[in-house]
Amino acid sequence: MSTRLPPLRGLRCFCLAADNLSFKHTAEQLYITPSAVSHQIRQLEEDLGLSLFVRKTRALELTPAGKSFYLAIQPVMQQLVHTISEFSQNAGSKEVSISMPEFFASELFMPRLRGWSTQYPAINLRVDTVKTRSDPSRPTDVSIILSGSPPQAALCHELFAISYQPACNPSLYEQCSRLGLDALNQLPLLLHQSRPHAWHQWAEFAGIEHFRPKQILQLDSMFGMARAAEQGLGIALIPMPISQSWFHSGALVALFDGSWTTRDKYYLIQHRQQPDRPEIQWLIDWVLASFEQYR
């Protein structure tokens, strides 16, 4: 009977955590969050049926089983890395390609790209961005798409769901606070052209009976919509968690309680199986690990 093997990314994460005895430092090396590291370790512990770490308030220690497993697996992982590196160099330059919406690229993918370069320095990566779903794009090995239903693709991974949050800049927030929900009827509302009825759907979700917006401005760019809200042009319906950096920086402030969760989700799809190109699977594994925190 064959044995189900744990994911390689979980084993690599464990080895680094065992070296560092810190999820925070491990996360910095892998360019992911400490919570993502903790999740991978928990998953590995479940797969093995072992407790690998003793988690204390300000310290992390290997259990006896964790020490034994580390001593056994670390040489194997080092040999694996050496073998992959050796074959990659012998095979010459490799390249993988990925396409995605431009807002996803600028807000989430690009800030994590250094992690790919560090983990796979011998593999070139081509990133193509698309503005709208109807825009033509060059063929790529994998794609990240936003869809209201699972794509009809044999090789498909769900990344995370999208919710929508009303937001404006700090200056406009003061005026909105005074007006309350009536601000939606007195100030311009911003939305993306792909969702022309989004504000009315949000109002229905929020239970607003008298929703009569004075003006709705539709933009064909998610970045343009966020920028317009930052400039104080109106209240925007902002997608989350993809736009978190706009809130963390203070450029935008959330309005009203609760965000509207739709069927929209980001998916990672592989267009065709190519078992002779393992670098495609490495890219898929890296993307899944990079955005695991949002699931």
Summarised one tens digit per residue, pLDDT across range 61-97 is: 999 999 999 999 988 988 887 777 666 555 556 889 9
pLDDT digits (tens, 9 = 90+) for 233-258: 999 999 999 999 999 999 999 998 77
Element (H, E) at 10: helix 8-20
| pLDDT of residue 1 exceeding 70 | no
Mean pLDDT value across the chain:
87
pLDDT of residue 136: 56
Element (H, E) at 267: strand 260-270
Query: What is the rounded average pLDDT of the residues 206-222?
Result: 89
User: Residue 227: which of 185, 168, 178, 280 has the closest Cα?
Assistant: 168
pLDDT of residue 132: 66
At 68, phi and psi to the nearest 5?
Answer: -65, -40
| pLDDT of residue 286 exceeding 90 | yes
Measure the CA–CA gap between 18 and 66, rounded to whole angstroms: 8
* Half-sphere exposure at residue 219, Cβ-oriented, CA atoms within 13 angstroms: 19
pLDDT digits (tens, 9 = 90+) for 158-186: 999 999 999 999 999 988 888 888 899 99
Measure the CA–CA gap between 89 and 108, rounded to whole angstroms: 30
| pLDDT of residue 287 exceeding 90 | yes
Measure the CA–CA gap between 50 and 66, rounded to whole angstroms: 8
